[in-house]
C-alpha cells in the first residue's frame, strides 16, 4: 500500500458517526487527484484508505473511488493499461459480487471503468480537441444510485470539469438501454462541453453500485477551493451518499 502524502494535516470529520466507514482511494502511476479524493472522503465524514494499483487485496474497504489523472500517461487509450492492474481484478470481482461493492470512477477513473467493462461505452477526445477546465453544471438524472442518494432527482449541481478525452460515446442501442434503465446518472446542462452523446456526463451499472462520470465532484467539497457558485461544495453529496448507505446498511 502506498501512502497519500497530504500537505498539512487532515481536516476534522464533520459527522462522527460516519468515521467508521472506509473508502479506498486507488493510486496508479500517473494518478493525480488521489489526495483530493481522500480529502473529499474525510470532509464527508468517512475514513480514506490509500490503495495501490499493485495491491492484491482491497484492505476491507466499504467502497472504492478511482480518481482522475493520466494513469500511464494516457499513452495508449485512457485507462487501457490501468484496467489490467492486480487491484482492478479485485475491484471488478467485488463490484460484480452479491456484496455489490460501491465503486466511483471520476474522469480517468471513469475511463478505467469503461475499459474494465464495469460500465458500457467509451471516451474519445473532446470534440473541440482541447483540454478544457471549467465549472460545469450537471443535472442529477438518477438519485437511486449508491453515490447519488443524497441529491434530489433533477437537482442541478456545479462541479469542475477538466479533461482532454471526455467525449462519451456508445452505440445507439447501448444509449437507448441506458436511458430506458435510468442509468444515465448525470447530464451536462446549458452546454455540452465535449460532444458527449445525449449530453451524458455520467452513468451507472444496472445495480447502481458502480458510477462513473467525467466531471470532478472531489474538487467541489470545500468552500473557497472549488467552483464559485453554491459555496462550491456541490460535490460533497457523492461521498455523503455512499457513507450514509454504508453506515445505514451496517446498522
- Catalytic positions are 107, 216, 218
Applying CB under 8 A, among 25, 45, 48, 70 the residue interacting with another protein is 70
Distance between first and last Cα of the chain = 29
Sign of the CA dihedral with 91 first, then 36, 186, and 84 last: negative
Among residues 62, 219, 244, 247, which is the contact residue for another protein, using CB under 8 A?
A: 219
Chosen residue from 13, 19, 32, 189 binding another protein by CB under 8 A: 32
Distance CA 171, CA 176 (A): 9
How are strands ordered across the β-sheet holding 184-188?
47-52, 22-27, 63-66, 103-106, 210-213, 200-204, 184-188, 132-140, 156-163
List, in sequence order, every residue forming a beta bridge with 158; answer none if it has no partner. 137
**CA 251 to the chain's CA centroid:** 26
* Cβ-based nearer residue to another protein, 53 or 139: 53
Question: In sequence order, what are the beta bridge partners of 162?
Answer: 133
Q: Does 160 bind another protein (CB under 8 A)?
A: yes
For another protein, the closer of residues 53 and 245 by Cβ is 53
Smaller CB distance to another protein: residue 30 or 182? 30
Judged by beta carbon, residue 79 or residue 208, the one nearer another protein is 79
Q: How many residues bind another protein (CB under 8 A)?
A: 38
Which parts of this chain interact with another protein (CB under 8 A)? 2, 5-11, 29-30, 32-33, 35-36, 39, 69-70, 72-75, 130-134, 160, 162, 164, 216, 218-219, 221-222, 224-226, 228
Amino acid at each position: 500500500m502506498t501512502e497519500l502524502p497530504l500537505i498539512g494535516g487532515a481536516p476534522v470529520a464533520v459527522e462522527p458517526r460516519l468515521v467508521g466507514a472506509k473508502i479506498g482511494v486507488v493510486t496508479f502511476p500517473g494518478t493525480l487527484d488521489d489526495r483530493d479524493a481522500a480529502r473529499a472522503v474525510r470532509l464527508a465524514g468517512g475514513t480514506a484508505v490509500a490503495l495501490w494499483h499493485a495491491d492484491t487485496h482491497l484492505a476491507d474497504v466499504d467502497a472504492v473511488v478511482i480518481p482522475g489523472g493520466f494513469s500511464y500517461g494516457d499513452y495508449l487509450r485512457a485507462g487501457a493499461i490501468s484496467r489490467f492492474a492486480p487491484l482492478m481484478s479485485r475491484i471488478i470481482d467485488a463490484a460484480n459480487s452479491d456484496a455489490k461493492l460501491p465503486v466511483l470512477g471520476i474522469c480517468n477513473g471513469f475511463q478505467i471503468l469503461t475499459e474494465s467493462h464495469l460500465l458500457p461505452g467509451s471516451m474519445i477526445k473532446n470534440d473541440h480537441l482541447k483540454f478544457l477546465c471549467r465549472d460545469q453544471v450537471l443535472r442529477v438524472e438518477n438519485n437511486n444510485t449508491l453515490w447519488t442518494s443524497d441529491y434530489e432527482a433533477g437537482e442541478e449541481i456545479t462541479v469542475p470539469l477538466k479533461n482532454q478525452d471526455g467525449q462519451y460515446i456508445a452505440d445507439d442501442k447501448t444509449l437507448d438501454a441506458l436511458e430506458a434503465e435510468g442509468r444515465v446518472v448525470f447530464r451536462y446542462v446549458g452546454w455540452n462541453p465535449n460532444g458527449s452523446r445525449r449530453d451524458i456526463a455520467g452513468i451507472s451499472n444496472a445495480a447502481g453500485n458502480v458510477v462513473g462520470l467525467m466531471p470532478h465532484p472531489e474538487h467541489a467539497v470545500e468552500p473557497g477551493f472549488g467552483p464559485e457558485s453554491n459555496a462550491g461544495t456541490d460535490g460533497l453529496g457523492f461521498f455523503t451518499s455512499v457513507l450514509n448507505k454504508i453506515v445505514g446498511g451496517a446498522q
